[in-house]
Structure 1
Amino acid sequence: MRRSWAALALVGLSVALVGCSDPDPEPESSAPLSSQDIVGEWVAPGSDPAVSLELASDGTVTGSDGCNQLNGTWELDEDDIDFSNLAATMMACEGVDTWLSGADSATLAGDELTVIGENDAVIGTLERS
């Protein structure tokens, strides 16, 4: 009987300790982005015609919005990727959503690049190729 009470006391103590743990622990701080995290080819999954960006280590960006060719520059600003001088050819392609040509910046989470346009609106996502 004494062992039963001792076991019950240990279970009660364990439950009490678990109940005292922090239910929302602070997330571990992640390392800041580096250009190595960003450099490479990024594509819109399932896009036809293909939508893609190639971010080069020299700070240039090239790609296609599915209709027009894009080029410009990019730079890392803390955890954001800022696009500058992004220019696109002006071909008219019926039925093609040329959303990528409106890119102002992007954020990176894992292997997903979230593309942001004017007024900080999310306009699409690209995945690492």
Structure 2
Amino acid sequence: MRAIMIGTVLAMTALAGCKSDSPDPLEALAPNVIWKVTEIAGTPVPAKVEVTLSHPEKGLIAGSSGCNRYNGRISTQDGRVRIGELAGTRMMCPPDVMEVEGAFHSNIARVDAVNIVGDKLQLLENGTPVIIAEH
């Protein structure tokens, strides 16, 4: 009887650890709310450049990276946020806009956590905001 109970407990523990869907790190955000990125790596985004982030559905992020539109997957792995490679359009814009876009892409790739403080969305790397957005 004891062996059956131990086996049952072990089986239940194993099943509890198996979830088909990983939690959505942006679950607290309303779907389709557009966040305007105001800062990338400590540098303000120029007013004439529109960088946005939205959460159109579970596991997906999308928006404008300054010149081009992008979308990609977002998930958690081992308690850390993971943003997959972003797909996007391939237009060219003035050099200053392309510089902002490059900064956005290189910094969003480093994100390992998401935090909301008041009306600000913070995308973090090791606890430090690398992208800040407002809605």
User: Residue 105 of structure 2 corresponds to which residue in structure 1?
Assistant: 101
How much does 1:34 deviate? 6.0
Aligned residues: 95
**Which one of the candidate residues 1, 5, 27 is aligned to 1:36?**
27
Q: Which residue of 2 aligns with 1:54?
A: 54
| Partner Cα separation in structure 1 for residue 29 and residue 77 of structure 2 | 12
Aligned 8 A contact 2:25 2:114 in 1? no
Q: Match of 1:114, SS? A: strand
Taking the aligned partners of 1:59 and 1:85, their CA distance within structure 2 comes to 13
CA RMSD of superposed structures (Å): 3.2
Q: Which residue of 2 aligns with 1:6?
A: none
Structure 2, unmatched stretches of 5+, are 1-23, 39-45
Describe the shift of the 1:36–1:49 C-alpha distance in structure 2 as closer, same or farther (beyond 3 A): same
Identity %: 23
Closer, same or farther: CA 36–125 of 1 in aligned 2, 3 Å: same
Matched AA of 1:115 = L
* Residues 55-79 of structure 1, C-alpha deviations (whole Å, 9 max, x = no match): 1332111101110111111124577
Match of 2:7 in 1: none
Which structure carries more relative contact order (alpha carbon 8 Å, separation 6+)?
A: 2
Q: Judge which range, 56-65 or 73-82, deviates more.
A: 73-82
Are the counterparts in 1 of residues 26 and 55 from structure 2 also a CA contact under 8 Å?
no
1:72 partner amino acid: G
Alignment match of 2:121 (pick from 109, 113, 116)? 113
Larger strand share, 1 or 2: 2
Q: Relative to structure 1, is the Cα distance of residues 41 and 82 closer, same or farther in structure 2, using a 3 angstrom cutoff?
A: farther
Unpaired runs of 5+ in structure 1?
Answer: 1-32
Helix, strand or coil for the counterpart of 1:65?
strand
Give the conservation status (yes or no) of the 8 Å contact 2:49–2:66. yes
User: Is 1:69 matched up with 2:77?
Assistant: no
How does the TM-score come out when normalised to structure 1? Answer: 0.55
